[in-house]
Structure formats: C-alpha cells, structure tokens
Amino acid sequence: MKNLTLKDIAAALNISVTTVSKALKNYPDVSVKTKERVKEYAEKVNFTPNSFAAYLRTHESKTIGIVIPRLNHYFFSSILRGIISEAEKHEYMTFILCSEESYELEKVQIQRLLSKNVDGIFLSIADKTHDLAHIQNIMDNGTNLVIFDKYSKLTPCSSIVIDDRKAAYSAVKHLINKGKKRIAHFRGPLLPQNSIDRFLGYKQALEDHDIKYDKNLVFICDEISDSEGFDHAQNILDQKLDVDAIFAVADLPAIGAIKCLLENHIEIPNQIAVMGFSNWMISSLITPSLSTIDQPGELMGRKAFKVFLEERDTKKRNEPVVFQKYEIETSLVERKST
C-alpha cells in the first residue's frame, strides 16, 4: 500500500488539504468536530506525515543534534534529560552523538548533523578541540547553534554556562574557612575554558586570603578520571608534600583522591579535606560523602532548548539574532569530606 498524503485524506473526507493540515496541527481556526474527524481518519489509515515533504515546505526538519564529550558522565546525562524533555514537548526528534573529547571526531559528527539538515545543534566542545573552523561552519550553514558547559569565547553563538571562576572560588573559600591553607588543585586540561576558569578561581581565592600560590600543588588531570585523582593523591603522599586539602576540577578525580587517602589511612577531613565539582549522584553515596559544587545540568539543558526556540523564531521573523551568554547559578554542597 502506498504512503498516504494530505491530499488523499482531503479527498476521502471531501475537505481541503489546508484544512487537513491545520486539523492535524490543532490550529484554533478549525472546528473541534473537523479536527476529530480528520484525526480519527488519519489514525484509521495509519497516516504518517512525510518529514521530507514537510522539510521542503517549511525548511524545518524538526530534528536537532546534540554532541557531548562523554557518555558516562552524570552531568552531561542531566543536560541531555533537560534538552530532550523540552524537545519532546515541541515534537523534535533528537540525534545524540559523543565526541569522546576528540577534535577529529567532533568535526566529523558536526558534518554528519549538517548533512541531515538538523534545525539546531547543541554542543559541548571537546577538550582536544583546538581549531573552531568546524564550529563556525555551523553558523555559516545557517543552522542554529547553542553551546553549553564547555565553550570558547571565540564562538559567535549563544552559550549556557555556569560562572566556573566564581564557583571554584567559593569551593576554595569553603576549604579556607575550614582552616585549610595548603590546598592542592587537581585541575583539568590546559585548553577548555571551564578548566582555565576553575583554576583561576582557585588562584584568586588563595590570593584574596593571603595564601601564597604554589605551582607544585597543581596537578593536571588530562582525562579527568578517578585513576588520575588516585595517582595525584599518591604523589602528594609519596613526596611528603605539605597539603591539608584537595580541590578537584570534577567529582571523579576527587573520588579517586578519597580512595587513595583512605587506603593510606589518612583521616578525611581532619588531615586532608577533599572538595569536588559537579555533584555526581555517586558523590553523596561514597564514604565519606563528597563536598562539591552542584551544577544544575537538567536546568541548563532546558534553558539551552528554550534559547534555540527563541533564536529560531527570531530568524523566522527576519530579525537579527543577538547572541548571549546565559549563566546558571551553582551552589555549594557541604558533606563529610570537608
């Protein structure tokens, strides 16, 4: 049996194609009785709208693409929940891709999404991304782009972020208020802006509290993993560094540090306190539970989709889009590790 069209339904019901289209889309200028008649018939014949034909008419595919750096990341899964829940309300289908923090893979995935004529792309930039030409290509293509969490100041688009510097500052200030003065920082890779800003927040908090910055207490986590946190904590103990607290760029390295300290019979937080960042679900389940900065991922995802809708509608009105950076508030969660 051939795929039915709006024209077929219109002929069967002896009404116009426009009325059928409006009835299926629940337009207010179509009577309730006609809407019910059209929808009942459409259901009876298993009518499925032709998405390609709709794209030719409206230049909208009703699809979006999301590119995240990691799949096994509680924060990114929270953002996905936020975007997808809003997309579902507006009948958008979602493609989800993972760059695995790879610049090359991120380029390929963005090109794939553009070839699918998605209406919008939501992106958290990979740690290894060092050239933004492929991101600029999204804008040049006329596709709506919203960046979340990991962004670059050089990207000409709207972004949904937190104030990483401010959040890191509050985390370190919390440790200082607990009497800690030799605070190590397990920072992220050198390139991503959020990693840079959390490091700068750490330094600023030390400076504002008259604590001298010591570069020997800064350790880089290239993969931001628990194993790196464990190894860096072990290095601190092996080198007998004078450290009474650890502030990690994310919860995983902090959890790795806790595991190492416990295995070496270090009292947490009396001898060494530990502070994370992100508030993964596991952070409240480990012993001792991990103090951390809560990033409201689902809220960020919902906001990202709403910004996409606003910019989409602005373009439809042939008005210029004004890009903005939207900052979502964070909060400090104090637990047993501090």
| pLDDT for residue 1 | 43
Q: Encode pLDDT of 171-195 as tens digits.
A: 999 999 999 999 999 999 988 888 9
| pLDDT for residue 50 | 62
| pLDDT for residue 39 | 87
Residues 224 and 70 sit within 8 Å (Cβ to Cβ)? no
Long-range contacts: 313-318, Cβ < 8 Å, 24+? 315/144
Give the residue extent of every domain in the chain.
6-49, 61-161+297-328, 164-294
The answer to whether the pTM exceeds 0.85 is no
CATH homologous superfamily of domain 61-161+297-328? Response regulator (3.40.50.2300)
Start-to-end CA span in the chain (Å): 67
| pLDDT < 70: residue spans in the chain | 1-3, 49-59
Q: What CATH architecture does domain 164-294 belong to?
A: 3-Layer(aba) Sandwich (3.40)
Residues 236 and 243 sit within 8 Å (Cβ to Cβ)? yes
